[in-house]
Structure 1
Amino acid sequence: MKLSSVFGQIFLCSIPFGLILLSASNSVEAQNRRGTTRKNRQRTSVQMPKQNQVTTAIVVDERLAVLRDRPSLMAVPVQRMRRGHEIQILGNDEGDGVGFYRVQLSKNKFGYVQTQAVITTSRRGDDERLANLVRVSDGFEQIERATLFLNNYPKSVYRPAILLLLGDLLEESAQNLSREATRRFDADEIRATNAPVYSFYLNYNGLDRYGRLGIVFLFNQTAKQFHYDGARWKEIILKHSNSSEAGEAEKRLNALAEKMKP
């Protein structure tokens, strides 16, 4: 036997047995610590809220859009939100037999709002609910809600019907705007300004709220009549040519072309 081998055996035999156990214990403890740390990291990663879990909601019914300090219809009202206002949904709750969203309006303003006051693009059935609300609304409120629908549901099965409806509503509004503007303008005053007659019509303040929604009206100078430019009808023909509304949209565009002839 080689001398180095003998010394090796003597050295190993001389190591205290308790030290071997302690070393083994330390190794196991270190492995346990690493395992626990990994588990804690995994639990922490699951519990940490993700940014993309926050959902944006849009107010569609001002009658219900009351921000409250707790989920109850009896809770203190903090703010009434206007139609079209965007808020962030942070969670769900219930109170007084209705559902509530916990929401954030701004950096430091939180509260609860009834779920039916808002729509989201992620909650199933919200497009149908808003489409039904559009159909039973009236006045400019109906136009605003229809615009909100089209801005938020580009692929909804209800889109062609809402496009056709909104186009019809806007052509009807154009007739009302024409009568209102004509009553407001005095021919002598217009002549005194030396400004073109059509410029008075196209600057008519009754058009402003439509313009803020991205709606455009054409003006026939000969008849002194506004007409809707037909953008929503054109979308039906371009993107929903197989829908039942496509034929009706084509009829309306043909009628518009006739109305705009001098």
Structure 2
Amino acid sequence: MPQAHFVVHVSGLFRQFISAASLFQTLARNSPAARVPRLTGGRVATALLLLGLSLIVSAPAQARKKHRPPAGGRAAVVVDERLAALRDAPELSANLLQRLGRGRFVAVTGERGSRDGVTFYRVAVTRRTAGWLQSDAVVRPSRAGDDERLLRLIRGSEEFDRVSRARIFLDAFPRSPLRPAVLLLFGDTSEEAAAKLTREAQRRLDAREMEAGGAPQASYFLNFNGLDRYRRQGVVFVFDRATKQFHYDGAGWREIVRRYPQSSEAAEARKRLAGATAAAR
């Protein structure tokens, strides 16, 4: 579960907790003793603690619901946020209801063409929110050819955008014959990102401050916040303590070799892994 969603959700739960606490205390003070048992300070504190824990424990389950498509349609996921404008009618000039971010799940319940020849999907975003979305903004795992279309978009993307869209492909199309090509792009782009992140970390992490902090130097690099968004896409970086450089851990390349050993991408993946092994010596 993304940390930002969890923090927002817990902050809302905290407000609920405070409201419930105020109500609980008011009832304890004002209710007639004959009808409401007298609560000692310890009992009130215990009751409030249990209430707070029950709300917070439910947060992950409720937050996860936001990352599944609503029921009642065919699942689709946003891959091109530039086109992901939810509208109140299947026309590019129709009123904008909201913008949907990359990776957002929707449920497709209908389809219609606009006067301009653009195909729109009728989609449900939540149980209460629905509208019309340009079909080019999403891919549907059940629709033939959408894996090819997403691969073209991945190849036309750069840096983090390429990694993010490749991650969507790998999650949405687990049995696509194009998966080895996407895994190779995912790994190569992650290794390119490692070089850029190395330069950023070396520029922003002050050697004297790290020494004064007393923690192992590698821990400062591996806690560098520039890694966070890649980690959320499933990219793991390792840190070479001798050269003070990040490198991609090679998981995507190893998957190619393990699952698709006869593919053309497997030969390239073996080269990448051999190079990474030699560099680590």
TM range (shorter): 0.7 to 0.9
Residue 121 (structure 1) aligned with residue 141 (structure 2): yes
Residue 244 (structure 1) aligned with residue 264 (structure 2): yes
CA deviation after TM superposition for structure 1 residue 52, in Å: 8.3
RMSD between aligned residues: 1.3
Matches of 2:71 and 2:213, distance apart in 1? 56
Matches of 1:131 and 1:252, distance apart in 2? 21
Counterparts of residues 1-262 of structure 1 (less than 5 Å): 54-96=73-115, 97-261=117-281
Matches of 2:173 and 2:215, distance apart in 1? 42
Matches of 2:96 and 2:71, distance apart in 1? 29
Moved over 2 A (4+): none
Q: Write the letter of the residue equivalent to 2:163.
A: I
TM-score relative to the length of structure 2:
0.73
Hey, what does 2:64 align to over in structure 1?
Answer: none
Q: Structure 1 residues 119 and 156, CA, compared in 2 at 3 Å: closer, same or farther?
A: same
Q: Structure 1 residues 77 and 52, CA, compared in 2 at 3 Å: closer, same or farther?
A: closer
CA contact (8 A) 2:79 2:165 kept: yes
Larger Rg: 1
Matches of 2:185 and 2:134, distance apart in 1? 28
Where in structure 1 are there 5+ consecutive unaligned residues? 1-50
CA deviation after TM superposition for structure 1 residue 151, in Å: 1.1
| CA deviation string 1:34-73 (max 9, x = no partner) | xxxxxxxxxxxxxxxxx98720100001111100001111
CA deviation after TM superposition for structure 1 residue 162, in Å: 1.1
CA deviation after TM superposition for structure 1 residue 231, in Å: 0.4
Three-state SS of the structure 2 residue aligned to 1:259 is helix
Matches of 2:228 and 2:71, distance apart in 1? 36
Matches of 2:186 and 2:248, distance apart in 1? 10
Matches of 2:199 and 2:211, distance apart in 1? 20
- Give the length in aligned residue pairs: 211
TM-score relative to the length of structure 1:
0.78
Three-state SS of the structure 1 residue aligned to 2:125 is strand
Matches of 2:158 and 2:249, distance apart in 1? 21
| CA deviation string 1:69-128 (max 9, x = no partner) | 011111100001100000011111111311111110111101000111100111110000
